[in-house]
Structure 1
Amino acid sequence: MHIVKALSVLLIALAAGLCQTAGAQSIRVKEIASVQGVRSNQLTGYGLVVGLDGTGDQTTQMPYTTQSMANYLQQFGLTLPAGVNPQMKNVAAVLVTAQLPAFAQPGQAIDVTVSSMGNAKSLRGGTLIATPLRGADGEIYALAQGNLLVGGAGAAAGGSKVQINHLSAGRIPAGAQVERTVATPFALGDTIDLGLQSNDFQTASRVTDAINRTLGAGTASAVDGRVVRLRAPADPNARVAFLARVEDVRLEAAVPSAKVVINSRTGSVVMNQAVTIGACAVAHGNLSVSISSTPVISQPNALSRGETVVAEKANIQISQDKGALIQLNTAPKLADVVKALNALGATPQDLLAILQAIKASGALNAELEVI
């Protein structure tokens, strides 16, 4: 009997431990940190799209399209006579952008985005001619060319126009070829720095402890709230395997600092699980002003040679809704906060002002960020 009771207690304890483990959120290092210096680079270039079905730039309004085409033709020994301005309807000037990924090698293909910079009606069916893509240093890192994929469609006739999606931008999958590599500090030095996505000392400490437990003491050390420094092997092959193991290290996610994010343009309010409010009382009423006008017609008497006059009579009314004083109890959980705010019955726009007032009174235990 005692053995059965002991086993029952043990099973209950194990079940409780499993529930606690399941409740804790486990994440990998790769999901909250990245290797500093290993990043993509932005590329951009100016080019021409040809082969459009009469939907290109109006060259009389966009003279640089004609000038660009003339410069392009000079490379093939064709020079236009002075004063000749051809009216090209099938050519459009565009800007080409791309992301050069880390460790990209010459010959590798990357996607590009092509966007019209003139008054072209559509880029559908066009072909981008060879366009060099430059980095921030002015050097050429890729060469783009290919047929555009435009996800929209449109038609116009008799003054009517129908359009689906966007027609002045498109993509070319694998439309650029890398011509030059970008040096990275990945294989330099004896250490590698991990950059955390958020500035949090608790997360930096947990990442350091988890890596040291998995890969040995002294492997990782926290530099500050965002950077964790690793002692890495000198051999590139061993360094890649080392970082693969580091990225797969699991740790318990830290509870983020309480924050309420308000978008004043759309009226959106988002708050995380750490937000709490203290006991407070809220009264909120709306003030509305309505103006209506009524036409008033004044007619002259018979045979008075007067004129009929139409005037307007304005009626202005101001009304203010009654705002009942509502008591909000202390809410230690996010669900309680949501229930308390829903009890106010306020619109999202009103909720913006209420949250700011609660924060000013000291009852909102969270950081208020307006975007």
Structure 2
Amino acid sequence: MKKILALLMAGVFAIGLMPGTASADSAVTRIKDISKVQGVRANQLMGYGLVVGLDGTGDGNKSTETIQSIVNMLKSFGVSINQSTLKAKNVAAVVVTATLPPFVREGDNIDVTVSSIGDAKSIQGGTLLQTPLRAGNGNVYAVAQGAVSTGGFMAGRGSNTATKNFPTVGTTPNGAIVERSVEADIGTDGNISLSLSQPDFTTATRVAQAINSQFGSVAKAANPGRIDISVPAYYRNNVVAFIANIEELAVMPDNSAKIVVNERTGTIVMGGDVSVDEVAITQGGLSIKVQKNKNANQPDPFSYGTTIVTRNTDVQVKEDKASTIVLPATANVSDIVGALNAVGATPRDTISILQAIKASGALHAELQIM
């Protein structure tokens, strides 16, 4: 039972061999790190294509979509071929995905991910043929083509093969050329909005107050997750500089009292605002051990007896001494962790105790079980 519970508390880090407990008060941070400007967003792109040049590790003849795609591609080049005689082991049908960042322009390059959708064994060393990438609205925003890098491999033939990582998924760095940009009109109407990463009434109010203290009465917290801002007249022609100045403003975000528990690893993370009412905690353990032993009883020498094997059962019961602690009504996270450590509670013991305190109504914090 005597194990060390690793603590992260009040900026002091204690690293142990097992998962531990962490707590920290809210720190002053930049508005840039807790929010983003509405309208500045990325877009997902997807396309269907072919990877060629594989060393017999492509789709088999049962992948009809690959066969049909090869036939259609060759037709576009004026080549007619009998579909029944086509072998596709050097070609793989793939789905190509990419993310179109905000503010990219025509001619910029972006990375793409290439994933096999057939029964190809590996797309290592292949080349992605020209593949249009479409957004959710059906428009083409980029075109991808280039060598595929998997970061893995598959060696051998038949049952004697060795595989590392996932050779059926690869990337083509800078493999797509942007053909259409997505313009984000920020502040053209004289207004911008900030979205908080963690919506909170207090944090939204503090962000608005920080902006108003610097630029006058231009910001208003519309709801816990959004702050509406009017661009001052002297910044109308330089909205980028205005947003940059806002992002550098310091603010102290507020967080609700919460305890996050990961039962699989025994990790416990507590916020600094966690408090409890006066409560008594008793912690102890009962250990029962049952052993079965075989003993051989030998007869006396020169007797007519036979060897007899007997089974003996040994039951041992050990009950650890229970420890009782009392937390006052002014207890905070430091008191909780310190008291639980004093009675030798392990991380899993602490999880059970916290759940019991929450069930009793004495714990004033949200208990989130992962």
Answer yes or no: same fold by TM over 0.5: yes
Equivalent pair of 2:151/2:170 in contact (CA under 8 Å): yes
Q: What is the TM-score with the length of structure 1 in the denominator? A: 0.76
| 1:329 partnered with 2:327 | yes
- TM superposition shift of 1:39: 0.6
Provide the rounded CA distance (Å) in 2 between the counterparts of 1:98 and 1:290: 60
State which of 24, 38, 48 in structure 2 corresponds to 1:36: 38
For residues 219-259 of structure 1, the C-alpha deviation after alignment (integer angstroms, 9 at most, x for no partner) is 211112111111115777411111111111222x2341111
**What secondary structure, in the 3-state scheme, does the structure 2 residue paired with 1:206 have?**
helix
Residues 178 and 358 of structure 1: CA distance in aligned 2, closer, same or farther (over 3 Å): same
- TM superposition shift of 1:72: 1.7
Equivalent pair of 1:233/1:239 in contact (CA under 8 Å): no
For residues 252-309 of structure 1, the C-alpha deviation after alignment (integer angstroms, 9 at most, x for no partner) is x2341111123345543322222233433144657999999x9xxxxxxxxxxxxxxx
Amino acid at match of 1:133: L
Amino acid at match of 1:86: L
- TM superposition shift of 1:212: 1.4
Residues 290 and 43 of structure 1: CA distance in aligned 2, closer, same or farther (over 3 Å): farther
**What secondary structure, in the 3-state scheme, does the structure 2 residue paired with 1:128 have?**
strand
Provide the rounded CA distance (Å) in 1 between the counterparts of 2:318 and 2:47: 57
Equivalent pair of 1:92/1:120 in contact (CA under 8 Å): yes
- TM superposition shift of 1:36: 0.7
Where is the helix percentage greater, Structure 1 or Structure 2? 1
- In the alignment of these two chains, the number of paired residues is 326
After superposition, where does 1:1-150 map in structure 2 within 5 Å? 25-60=27-62, 62-81=63-82, 84-150=84-150
- TM superposition shift of 1:70: 1.7
1:256 is matched with 255
Amino acid at match of 2:94: V
Equivalent pair of 1:115/1:169 in contact (CA under 8 Å): yes
Amino acid at match of 1:223: A
Between stretches 132-141 and 350-359, larger displacement belongs to 350-359
- TM superposition shift of 1:143: 0.8
Provide the rounded CA distance (Å) in 2 between the counterparts of 1:190 and 1:40: 23
- TM superposition shift of 1:338: 2.6
Between stretches 102-111 and 153-162, larger displacement belongs to 153-162
Provide the rounded CA distance (Å) in 2 between the counterparts of 1:157 and 1:290: 52
Listed as ranges, the gaps of 5+ residues in structure 1 are 1-22, 295-314
Q: What is the TM-score with the length of structure 2 in the denominator? A: 0.76
2:272 is matched with 273
After superposition, where does 1:197-276 map in structure 2 within 5 Å? 197-215=197-215, 217-232=216-231, 237-251=237-251, 253-276=252-275
Listed as ranges, the gaps of 5+ residues in structure 2 are 1-24, 295-312
Between stretches 183-192 and 338-347, larger displacement belongs to 338-347
**What secondary structure, in the 3-state scheme, does the structure 1 residue paired with 2:174 have?**
strand
- TM superposition shift of 1:69: 1.7
Residues 111 and 357 of structure 1: CA distance in aligned 2, closer, same or farther (over 3 Å): same
1:309 is matched with none
| 1:166 partnered with 2:166 | yes
- TM superposition shift of 1:207: 1.1
Amino acid at match of 1:367: E
Give the percent of matched residue pairs that are identical in Structure 1 and Structure 2. 44
| 1:361 partnered with 2:360 | yes
Superposition RMSD in Å? 3.3
- More relative contact order in 1 or in 2 (CA 8 Å, sep 6+)? 2
**What secondary structure, in the 3-state scheme, does the structure 2 residue paired with 1:138 have?**
coil
For residues 106-140 of structure 1, the C-alpha deviation after alignment (integer angstroms, 9 at most, x for no partner) is 11111111122223222221111111111111211
Provide the rounded CA distance (Å) in 2 between the counterparts of 1:267 and 1:77: 64
- TM superposition shift of 1:40: 0.7
Amino acid at match of 2:50: L
